[in-house]
Amino acid sequence: MRTDLAHLRFLLFVALPFATQPAASEPSPQISSAYTDFDAEKCKHEPDTEEGDYGTWECPGLGDIKVLLSAGDQRMYVSFGEASDDNLALSQTFPGFNDVYKGTVEWRTIDGKPFATILRWNVMTGKDQEKATGPVSPSGRVLVVTR
């Protein structure tokens, strides 16, 4: 009886580490990047009728995912995919004047499916505001990650 118990303990000691190993056949997800360029001057534009509102642009993105731009009051909004009421990126921007009329989008993908984007925006800095006597191009640069 003692021999059986010792034998069982030995088998558990040897077998237990192998029982907790993950299956070798499960591939790891592949995270990678893809890049697309856009230029609002070359995109489909719908002007707005409101004063100070510059309209919306629909630009090609990655596959069938569009790059959506809108602008007004010297500020822009950028989103990806379809415009909808629950698309928060279409209502988020920087408090100061900014623009992103052209650029390169980095699409972060898992197994080829996009899950986030990275885009460089142009934003007003304190120095830009100090020297502003008329229209000033934003000189600050900020990377924005959208998920």
Q: What ranges make up the beta strands (E) of the chain?
A: 31-39, 44-46, 53-62, 65-72, 75-80, 98-99, 102-110, 113-123, 140-146
Work out the mean pLDDT of the chain and round it to a whole number.
85
Average pLDDT of the residues in 37-60: 93
Residue 12's pLDDT is what? 47
Name the more confident of 68 and 53: 68
CA–CA separation, 4 and 96 (whole Å): 77
Give per-residue pLDDT as tens, 81-126. 998 888 888 889 998 899 999 999 999 999 999 999 999 999 998 8
**Which residue type is seen at 87?**
N
pTM, full prediction: 0.77
Q: What pairing do the DSSP bridges indicate for beta strands 44-46 and 75-80? A: unpaired
The full set of domain ranges for the chain reads 27-146
pLDDT of residue 23: 59
Read off the tokens for 121.
Answer: 């925006």
Residue owning tokens 């980095």: 106
